[in-house]
């Protein structure tokens, strides 16, 4: 009897564990699409004067509103929990949409982040409040922007401009609340890893794996 138990522990249990974890990985190699084919940003002015596009990039998209400085702690949370882990990947960008008139505030935030972070992948773009509301509406999200044209949530947009998230009934997730570091460290980090794994697997399959993703 003891011999059978030892054989089970040494040979059978590892195989069962492998099959269990392998099936789990396979089940999470795709993050559901919440809204397909979202709009690009057009010719909106950016903080550094360079054109910002969502095409061909994995984008963390945010709407900062006109209280950018007041809510800058949310960006610092995002920077610490997500950005600093992945900013070296050239196919990843963090795009914050802000109302026209907040350019100086955005510059202060970028300068503050730049004191301890390479801010090359942080991008701030500016538009009228009407344009921002119109853009946000086409994302077809349940939650609406607040009276300051902002939200603490950020969203994952893939390289084909599809908004990605969770669709499970008890765990639906359109966006990730930057006010809560734990949510960034858990749900958002998990989902972001799924997106990166998806692209890495595709690149590996096509024998085109690079340092980008």
pLDDT in tens, 79-105: 999 999 999 898 999 999 999 999 999
**Domain extent listing, the chain:** 29-211
Question: 10 Å Cβ neighbour count for 150?
Answer: 25
- The angle formed by the CA atoms of residues 178, 149 and 170, to the nearest 5 degrees, is 45
pLDDT at residue 133 in the model: 98
**Which is higher by pLDDT, 19 or 51?**
51
Q: Which of 63-67, 133-137, 206-210 shows the lowest per-residue confidence on average (mean pLDDT)? A: 206-210
Mean predicted confidence (pLDDT) in 73-78: 98
Average pLDDT over the chain reads 85
Using one digit for the tens of pLDDT, what is the confidence trace for 95-146?
999 999 999 999 999 999 999 999 999 999 999 999 999 999 999 999 999 9
pLDDT at residue 25 in the model: 36
Binning pLDDT at 50, 70 and 90, where does residue 36 land?
very high
Q: What is the Cα Rg of the chain in Å?
A: 20
16: enclosing H helix or E strand: helix 13-27
Percent of the chain topping pLDDT 70: 78
Using one digit for the tens of pLDDT, what is the confidence trace for 16-30?
443 333 333 334 468
For residue 160, pLDDT over 50 is answered with yes
pLDDT at residue 67 in the model: 96
For residue 12, pLDDT over 70 is answered with no
For residue 40, pLDDT over 50 is answered with yes
CA 46/CA 87 separation, integer angstroms:
19
Q: Which CATH number fits domain 29-211: 3.40.30.10, 3.40.50.10860, 3.40.50.300, 3.40.50.2000?
A: 3.40.30.10
CA 3/CA 18 separation, integer angstroms:
22
CA 156/CA 139 separation, integer angstroms:
11
Write down the pTM of the prediction: 0.82
CA 163/CA 142 separation, integer angstroms:
13
pLDDT at residue 209 in the model: 47
Length reported for the chain: 213
**Which is higher by pLDDT, 74 or 170?**
74
């Amino acid at each position: 009897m003891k011999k059978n138990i030892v054989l089970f522990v040494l040979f059978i249990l590892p195989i069962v564990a492998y099959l269990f974890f392998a099936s789990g990985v396979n089940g999470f190699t795709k993050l559901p699409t919440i809204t397909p084919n979202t709009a690009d940003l057009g010719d909106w002015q950016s903080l550094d004067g360079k054109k910002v596009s969502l095409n061909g990039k994995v984008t963390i998209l945010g709407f900062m509103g006109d209280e950018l400085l007041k809510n800058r702690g949310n960006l610092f949370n995002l920077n610490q929990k997500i950005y600093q882990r992945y900013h070296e990947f050239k196919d990843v960008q963090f795009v914050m949409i802000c109302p026209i008139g907040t350019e100086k505030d955005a510059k202060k935030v970028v300068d503050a982040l730049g004191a301890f972070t390479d801010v090359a992948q942080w991008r701030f773009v500016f538009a009228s409040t009407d344009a921002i509301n119109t853009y946000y509406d086409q994302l077809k999200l349940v939650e609406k922007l607040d009276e300051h044209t902002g939200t603490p949530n950020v969203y994952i947009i893939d390289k084909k401009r599809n908004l990605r998230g969770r669709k499970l009934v008890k765990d639906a997730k359109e966006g990730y609340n930057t006010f809560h570091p734990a949510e960034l460290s858990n749900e958002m980090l998990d989902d972001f890893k799924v997106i990166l794994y998806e692209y890495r697997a595709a690149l590996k399959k096509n024998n085109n794996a690079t340092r980008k993703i």
